[in-house]
Structure 1
Amino acid sequence: MVKRRWVWVIGAVMVAALLGACGSPATPAQDGATKGTYGRELPPVAVPTMAPAQPSGGSRAPASAAEAPDRKVVQTASLKITVKDTAAVLDAVQSLATELGGYIVTSNSWRESEQLRAQVTLRVPAGKLQTALQRIRAQAIKVDAESISGEDVTQEYTDNESRLRNLRATEKELLELLTTAREKTGKAEDVLAIFRELTQIREQIEMLQGRQQYLDTMTAMATISVDIWPEPLEKPIVEPGWKPLKTLRDAFRALTQTGQTLVDALIWIVVYGVPVLVLIAAPVVLIVWAVRRSRRRKAAPSQ
């Protein structure tokens, strides 16, 4: 019976926490029902409730007006610019990140068609995003493409804060319940049951805290991706690398190879093709000659 009572108490604590997370505060009637069921036989345990705070004045202000949370926005921007000196602009962008209190996430450079190209991603404080974009534009001959976007995570952040408050309240109540179980009953089954619930609550708290820290970091710093293209080179009248003597040598080499191929073919025809044709044609010629001779003999007596 005692073990079953502890299970009921733990269940009551978890239900109260879930009701608080969903925004439905426990009413006095519900609290009285819990006391009527467990007040006599179990040690008094305070069940967490989420009673809404009443304003000091006679009227109650709307929640949106009373609490206007700061917006949490993840800002990202991308630029594609054409520059005269890719290496110099890449160094300038990297120095800009450090100057504004940010850092470089990735930086790549490579040669394409004998020209240097680069791509760099940096993060700067969100309040300095426009300053960074203006400084980067100033390095370009031409801005080929630009985009800025923001993801509002205020709702998620606010919901996580509410869930954290409820989970911490539940954790506190479970700790008190665990202390009471150790002092009053001392049964291992009761202590382990409460400890398992406490472990699950703490895991949820740690996950939500990690998510909040990630959102804080992402909203505090804006991400900028810059694609740096060099200015196209003017095409010369004579393409670099033109070697007429080499072309002449290649043409003579091709002519020589063609002559060799023709001579080789002639040798094959004379040495191989003619004898084979003779061997094939000889029996045919003999058969034709024999047939004509036979016909002449038959025709001679009749004359």
Structure 2
Amino acid sequence: MKKISKVLLPVLLVAALALSAACSAKKEVAPSPPYPVPAPMAPSAAERSYSAEDSAAGGQTVGSETERRIVRTGYLTLEVKNIADSMVAVSNLARELGGYVVSSNKQGGDGAVTGRVAIRVPVERFDEALDKLRKLAVDVPYESTEGRDVTEEYSDLKAQLRNLEATEAQYLELLKKADKVEDILKVQRELSNVRGQIERVKGRIQYLERTSDMALIEVTLQQTKPLGETGWSALKTLKSAARGLIAFGKILVDALIWIAIFSPIWVPIVVLVWYFRKRRKAKIS
């Protein structure tokens, strides 16, 4: 038995080594296919669009040193001696500070005049503008300021724009290589869609740049009351009474017109009532 083991052991070792060498040789040398392998096809326009959108969604990174953008807004209510002059002064102040007037209007009457002026000034001169506006007023009943940080949105939009422009360049290259009408139409459709997204993103970026570079200040102007003014005025009472008399006259004239128009209905009724009452009295007597 020992002799048989001594003979079989070397044989098994040799067989195992030969099998191992054969397996490794198969792994290192792959068999060639019986037919030529075709070159990989270029992805379709829809597949390229999907891939580009995925990279745009996942590849947005915000730089650590991104310029901070704050949209600043101020609201002021000023009591002034003259509404018209103060509106002109506010408009001139905006231009002096390098800004412009957004809107301006005046409304009211009989001493209750109110003016409103909205201006934009460079954000670095926002506090200076508020200080100079206060100096135009006799009193400042109301003042409020606020700031909205749009840095993150601005950075995201810039990253989206870069990715969209890269996708646009890829579609343009693909359009040059397309030779079938169907492929050309598909690429043009996707290219038009990407360009529409680019325009929308650019518009939003420009809006954020404009509103963060130029702060908005809305000014409401109110007329101050003269120092000697009291709560009662004979002239005001006379005017009020005259307006009341005119209003009563209008109501009376309107009533007479309605009565005249409906006279074909109520006149016969009144005549009949009068006739029967007179006849009844005659019978009783």
TM interval, short-chain normalised: 0.5 to 0.7
Q: Give, as a single letter, the amino acid of the residue that structure 2 aligns with 1:204.
A: Q
Out of 126, 130, 144, the residue aligned to residue 127 of structure 2 is 130
Relative distance call for 1:199 and 1:239 in structure 2 (3 A) is same
Out of 87, 90, 106, the residue aligned to residue 87 of structure 2 is 90
Out of 47, 50, 54, the residue aligned to residue 15 of structure 1 is 50
Out of 114, 117, 125, the residue aligned to residue 117 of structure 1 is 114
Range 214-223 or range 230-239, more displaced:
230-239
SS for the counterpart of 2:235 is coil
Query: 1:239 and 2:234 equivalent?
Result: yes
Q: Give, as a single letter, the amino acid of the residue that structure 1 aligns with 2:230.
A: K
The alignment-based identity, stated in percent, is: 35
8 Å CA contact 1:87–1:116 kept in 2: the answer is: no
Q: State the Cα RMSD in Å.
A: 3.2
8 Å CA contact 2:126–2:215 kept in 1: the answer is: yes
Q: CA deviation at 1:112?
A: 2.6
Q: CA deviation at 1:131?
A: 0.6
Correspondence 1:22-101 to 2 at 5 A: 22-23=57-58, 67-101=64-98
Unaligned runs of 5+ in 2: 1-40, 246-275
8 Å CA contact 1:124–1:222 kept in 2: the answer is: yes
8 Å CA contact 2:122–2:214 kept in 1: the answer is: yes
Counterpart in the other structure of 2:219: 226
Measured in 2, the distance between the counterparts of 1:97 and 1:228 equals 16
Number of aligned pairs? 213
Relative distance call for 1:284 and 1:108 in structure 2 (3 A) is same
8 Å CA contact 1:82–1:140 kept in 2: the answer is: yes
Q: CA deviation at 1:209?
A: 0.9
Q: CA deviation at 1:15?
A: 2.9
Measured in 1, the distance between the counterparts of 2:156 and 2:121 equals 27
Q: CA deviation at 1:180?
A: 2.0
Measured in 1, the distance between the counterparts of 2:112 and 2:172 equals 66
Q: CA deviation at 1:87?
A: 2.4
Counterpart in the other structure of 2:198: 205
Measured in 2, the distance between the counterparts of 1:283 and 1:179 equals 114
Measured in 1, the distance between the counterparts of 2:126 and 2:194 equals 39
Unaligned runs of 5+ in 1: 25-49, 51-62, 251-275, 286-303
Relative distance call for 1:284 and 1:83 in structure 2 (3 A) is same
Post-superposition Cα deviations, 1:66-86, rounded to whole Å, max 9, x if no partner, equal 623122222111111111222
Q: CA deviation at 1:222?
A: 0.9
Which portions of structure 1, spanning 4 or more consecutive aligned residues, are displaced by more than 6 angstroms?
A: 276-279
Relative distance call for 1:131 and 1:281 in structure 2 (3 A) is same
Q: CA deviation at 1:280?
A: 4.8
Q: Give, as a single letter, the amino acid of the residue that structure 1 aligns with 2:196.
A: E
Q: CA deviation at 1:159?
A: 1.1
Relative distance call for 1:278 and 1:116 in structure 2 (3 A) is closer
Post-superposition Cα deviations, 1:89-120, rounded to whole Å, max 9, x if no partner, equal 22211110110011111111234323543111
Measured in 1, the distance between the counterparts of 2:197 and 2:155 equals 16
Counterpart in the other structure of 1:155: 152
